[in-house]
Amino acid sequence: METKPTVQSDPRIEALFKVGAHFGYSRSRRHPSIAPFIFGLKNRVEIFDLEKTVNLLEKAKDFVKKLGSENKVILFASGKNEARVALEKAAKELGMPYVAGRWIGGALTNYGQIRTRMDLLETRRREKEKGELAKYTKKERLLIDREIAKLETLFGGLLPMKEMPKALFVIDSNRESIAVTEAHKMGIPVLALLGSDCDIKDVEYPIVGNDSAVSSIAFFVEEMVRAYKEGEALKLKA
């Protein structure tokens, strides 16, 4: 039996519906922990109960708002191509670290070593900006440029992370399982946008919704940015 989701008068639910946040995956891919959040089926695709998604989203936003009021660092991470632009934009807007691509193993659990690579990148950047690489041969400069490009790809987004973050936000906890595991080992709470194939118990602040569409991902990422800024505004008023 196929069921069509009902758009409620709640503008939050209408907004989620418009970006396709209600679409999960096929029933065969569903993780058992997600069952209570499924509304029904449409064309063999499971549909999320957006009322429950709104409740989870509000809880996550309250936590992010608190982080914003305390100027705490959130690390944004996702290897999904659909999330890359929104994630990078959000992190830069807030001045936060991010990984928009393959997770660097040890980014949290071996932060000291990762920090040395980030320091090297910053050093190389300064040397290049000041023209200090002119003292090297053409071949040496070429090798250094290649080194900088590699360091930028791996660690460029992490440069704002001067200390351990107070939260990790990921798109698709299945795909970012290594990042989630590292966060848990370090006692860092995880926020995540979860598709219907994810284990909700892996995440402290789960948000069930479409984690594979650009529009849906961008919506939830922007909600995190908005919540953080609201927290910052609260601190200014205090």
So what's the pLDDT on residue 216? Answer: 98
pTM over 0.85: yes
d(CA 190, CA 185): 11
Calculate the average pLDDT of the chain. Answer: 93
d(CA 228, CA 192): 15
Provide the H-helix boundaries in 73-213: 81-94, 111-129, 138-155, 177-185
**Residue keyed to tokens 């997600």:** 34
Please write the tens of the pLDDT for every residue from 103-127: 999 999 999 999 999 999 999 999 8
Contact 88, 157 (CB under 8 A): yes
So what's the pLDDT on residue 118? Answer: 94
Identify the band that residue 135 occupies on the pLDDT scale cut at 50, 70 and 90. confident
* CATH topology classification for 11-108+164-237: Rossmann fold (3.40.50)
Identify the band that residue 92 occupies on the pLDDT scale cut at 50, 70 and 90. very high
* CATH topology classification for 111-158: Helix Hairpins (1.10.287)
| Per-domain boundaries in the chain | 11-108+164-237, 111-158
d(CA 123, CA 148): 10
Contact 195, 25 (CB under 8 A): yes
Identify the band that residue 238 occupies on the pLDDT scale cut at 50, 70 and 90. low
So what's the pLDDT on residue 62? Answer: 98
Identify the band that residue 236 occupies on the pLDDT scale cut at 50, 70 and 90. confident
